[in-house]
Amino acid sequence: MRIQKKQLPIRPFDTIVKTTCPSCGSGCGLKVFIKDGRAVEIYGDEENQLNKGSLCPRGLMALSHLYQEKRLLVPLFRERLSDPFRETTWEEALDHVAGKIQRSLQASPESLYIRLSPHAGFGNIALGTVWGNHWGTPHIDSDLDPDSSAVAAVMRHMLGVEMNGCAMSARHEWSASQAMLLVGVDPATTDPVAFGAVLDAKDRGTRIMVLDSRNTRTMRKAHLPLKCRVGTEQAVLLAMAHVLLGENLGNEEFLKQWVDGREDFQSLCREYSPEMVENLSGVRKDKIIEAARALAKNFPSMMIGHSRAGSQETGAGLIFAMVAITAITGTIGCPGGGVNLLNNFPPIEIKNESSKEIKDPKASLVRAGNGTAAWRAIAEGRPYPIRGIIWDTNPLTFCPEGRKVVDALRKMDLIVYLGHYPNAAYHHAHVVFPLTTFLETEGLVFSSTGRNLQWADRTVFPRGKTRPAEDFWGGLMARMNFSSPYPFIQEKGEVNIREMTRYFLQKSPLLAGITPDLLDPERNLPGGIQWPASVSEIDFPNHRAAVRGREGLFRPGSQIPGTDKRFPTPTGRIDLSPVKISAETGFQNLARIPALMNGLKTNQLILLTGEIVDFLPSAGFWAIPQQFQIPLFVQIHPKKARELGVQSGDRILLENRRGKMEAPAWVTDQVEENIVFCPSGADPYDPNFPIASPRGLFEFVPENDGCGRKMLGSTIVNVRKAS
Amino acid sequence: MKLIYTGSQLPKNAEVADIGDEEVVMLVDVDRCIRCGTCQLACAVEYGEEGKPGDVRNLHVDEEGGKMQIFNLPGACRQCRTPCMYYDLHNFWIRCPDEKVSAKAKEPSCDLCLKRREGGYWPACATRCPMKTIYVGTMADIRIIIRDKQFRDYGELFVHGPQELPAD
């Protein structure tokens, strides 16, 4: 009998509910199979054009998270951190939080810090921001705040559009690209399904080049791997620009018509000759020249980066160099061209309906484009103390200076944790609200690698007393009488999530034509809608791909909706001048790591951290059997491992003056000889995979270094075999 | 059941011509594998309880000397618990030594998801692979895919239309 590839189970089921996985930027469509009200299987949705049935381990394990025994199912409460938790109800816990905030923090509303992650849903960010604005604190740390990222500031300055996903090609257009340069990203590990589009392009003949400081899984798939020293990615890019401008390989027509500041940029590149950069970065100069020529001679060529700039320090500077190269090759606005940032966010403006004066908004810690500033305020009380925190998922695993911060947390008046699992953030909280997973609630999903908005439907009823994060914020707003301008908040604080999403989408000119019903994969075509989509523009321009929405911004002859320009900067042209951008966004041209490397002593290595696929901020490591748990953790080069007498699986000790960390070693050539790498999300309280976190080894990153919201940078550690 | 690896880095070896057209084989395209481990999880989910993964039949675990090593390459034939020696040789066509059941084998070995195949579907690991790395079918079908994969590297063959695989 002929057998077929069908995303269907052989287990019995009653119904199929279609939804969307919000775990990463790939935005995969899901089919959840229900039997007697219980989800029994989960498969990718072949009809969704973004994943075409593919699903990575994160999506596959969603059921495991849903029915995990250790999940938080009831609200918990305690007066002091030393007391045990007692069970309570949502209403009682909300009354307590509202009362406590009003009693303790009324005099200084700015001493409340709110950390909002997209892993608790769009509504969490939107309503958290709105509530924070009404309350009067400027310290609202969220991904949707364009000012919180220096990368977005660079894009805004150069291209004139808010948010960093604007210069992207949609994912179905990636195959139109003739050459791709992936800079400092490892989508094979972090966004596997999106990386499928890269491999599809490779099979069609696209030249794949990867520039990274680690020998990643992505790099192993490249035609031209450019392995550089840590932190020198930007220098390599500038050397490529040097070659492009020196050999006159640029798109002269585009440069003449659309680009300003070419001379300034050229004088910056002049310092970065391929010979000089070969010495600095370790990438051979003929490889740099080959890559530059490949970018210019194959049209269109595209760049793939990360909005939080993956594993290096030069976030904003790197994005600047990437946009500059695409401007020189003239591929911005071409299908299969442009700068494609994984994990970007759509231009949703969360407007403030309150007229409340926020005290001294310039003193905001978060808006400096530096995620560590707020943590410094928590730990050191500078520039003024933080006394209350509302956080979700697990921000604590990413904060530097672990010991100092934890000491400070013990003295807080109030810490509220919204989440799924008892992790580090839970153990430092006074009040705990159990949240639904994305299978138990509905909400907007940002499929950022495809520039799509999608909708996640509710597939099963929530377990225990879990509720969506929207209900927490709605409850607070109702109790504090902030809810009157918002029709979607009912009397007792319940939130109509569809109405809320429609309300916020309509406020953004680029998204006004999108409604939840149009996105809903149960009612409409799966795959969502590509933004920009103002009212009249929702159509099917690409029938073959069946992707709804306009094809992209910056197309030749088109204008950005709401303006009359192709590039809505003040001059209407792309500005490459590094001086102005540097002054405006505060990025440095080169990271400090190359300098660090020269001063290393024996047994000293540089510790870097990054994201891995086996981990989700909202849920920790996969709730999977012992045999799958990663037995190996800290990547170390074989040569260094031999010197230390370490084999894969042996425990090694990393320490510096701030702290130490012991973890199993993973001997691999993915890292250089003087580098050790470990995943950043480790948490000693993680219910599934408790392991020491590297955060205690890091110090606060200097302010205004343009790193955006990346918090753990790089640090020097002593490495030895644990006894 | 036979397991075939293909990839542009693997040397050519046309042993595959010996396999009969009706035989069910599994093809793994090493060029597309990113070692994400979905194939292993798929196996665990398929043979576990609902929402609770069970044991894996296609996981390569070698506990030599008390140290655990995981090989993340997808593979269906796990007749024995030791990783296949054919792995390291990197021959172009690798034939699994089928019918060789190790005495050490303690777990049920892979039957290429017989139940799923009876239902008309591919095995779990091949169905779930997000990178379209694994193909399962009769050798007659798989030959077509192999030819396709070869055009990936020898584009000019495509112009002249499908051709028989070279004998060597």
Determine the average pLDDT of the residues in A493-498. Answer: 92
What's the pLDDT at A26? 85
Whether the pLDDT of residue A295 is over 60: the answer is yes
- DSSP, collapsed to helix, strand or coil, labels residue A467 as strand
The tens digit of pLDDT for each residue in A238-271 reads 999 999 999 999 999 999 999 988 898 998 888 8
Contact residues, B window 37-96, toward A, CB-based 8 Å cutoff = 37-38, 40-42, 44-45, 50-56, 59, 61, 67-70
Q: Residue B6's pLDDT band (boundaries 50, 70, 90)?
A: confident
Cβ–Cβ below 8 Å for A1 and B120: yes
Best of A5, A8, A185, A204 to disrupt the B interface (most B CBs within 10 Å) is A5
Q: How many angstroms separate the first and last alpha carbons of chain A?
A: 59
Residue A311 CA: distances (Å) to CA of A520, A615, B46? 35, 16, 35
Contact residues, B window 98-157, toward A, CB-based 8 Å cutoff = 115-117, 119-122, 126-132, 136-138, 152, 155
Cβ–Cβ below 8 Å for B52 and A40: no
Burial class (CB in 10 A: 0-12, 13-18, 19+), B24: middle
Determine the average pLDDT of the residues in A259-286. Answer: 90
Whether the pLDDT of residue A680 is over 80: the answer is no
- For residue B146, give how far its alpha carbon lies from the nearest alpha carbon of chain A (Å): 13
What's the pLDDT at A181? 95
Residue A324 CA: distances (Å) to CA of A155, A262, A440, A711? 11, 9, 44, 26
Q: How many residues does chain A have?
A: 723
* Residue A206: closest CA among A177, A173, A174, A183: A177
What's the pLDDT at A554? 83
Q: Residue A356's pLDDT band (boundaries 50, 70, 90)?
A: low
> Is the minimum CB–CB distance between A613 and chain B shorter than 8 Å?
yes
ipTM score? 0.83
> Which DSSP helix (H) or strand (E) runs through A256?
helix A252-258
Q: What are phi and psi of A651, to 5 degrees?
A: -85, 135
What's the pLDDT at A73? 95
DSSP letters spanning B137-161: EEHHHHHHHHHHHHHHH-THHHHT-
Q: Residue B1's pLDDT band (boundaries 50, 70, 90)?
A: low
The tens digit of pLDDT for each residue in A574-623 reads 888 887 777 666 555 554 555 566 667 777 887 877 665 555 555 455 44
Among the ranges given (A77-91, A488-502, B95-109), the one the predictor scored with the smallest mean pLDDT = B95-109
A524: CB partners within 8 A, 6+ apart: A517, A518
A648: CB partners within 8 A, 6+ apart: A632, A664, A665, A666, A667, B67, B69
Whether the pLDDT of residue A135 is over 80: the answer is yes
Q: What are phi and psi of A15, to 5 degrees?
A: -135, 160
Rg of chain A in Å (alpha carbons): 25
The tens digit of pLDDT for each residue in A631-666 reads 557 888 889 889 999 887 788 998 888 888 888 888
The tens digit of pLDDT for each residue in B43-77 reads 778 877 665 555 554 434 333 333 333 333 444 34
Cβ–Cβ below 8 Å for B67 and A40: no
Best of A3, A71, A219 to disrupt the B interface (most B CBs within 10 Å) is A3
What's the pLDDT at A414? 93
Among the ranges given (A272-286, A386-400, B32-46), the one the predictor scored with the smallest mean pLDDT = B32-46
Tokens of A28: 């995969």
* Residue A209: closest CA among A322, A291, A309: A291
Q: What are phi and psi of A40, to 5 degrees?
A: -110, -25
Residue A622 CA to residue A688 CA, distance in Å, equals 7
What's the pLDDT at A542? 53
Residue A552 vs residue A685, higher pLDDT: A685
Residue whose entry in the numeric block shows the structure tokens 């009249």? A536
- A140-142 and A388-392 beta bridge pairing: unpaired
What's the pLDDT at B73? 43
Whether the pLDDT of residue A290 is over 50: the answer is yes
Residue A372 CA to residue A712 CA, distance in Å, equals 9
Cβ–Cβ below 8 Å for B34 and A628: no
* Closest residue in B to A612 (Cα–Cα): B36
Tokens of A224: 């031209």
The tens digit of pLDDT for each residue in A189-225 reads 778 888 999 999 988 889 999 998 878 878 888 999 9
Among the ranges given (A293-297, A420-424, B108-112, B146-150), the one the predictor scored with the smallest mean pLDDT = B108-112
Whether the pLDDT of residue B157 is over 50: the answer is no
Q: Residue A109's pLDDT band (boundaries 50, 70, 90)?
A: confident
What's the pLDDT at B113? 77
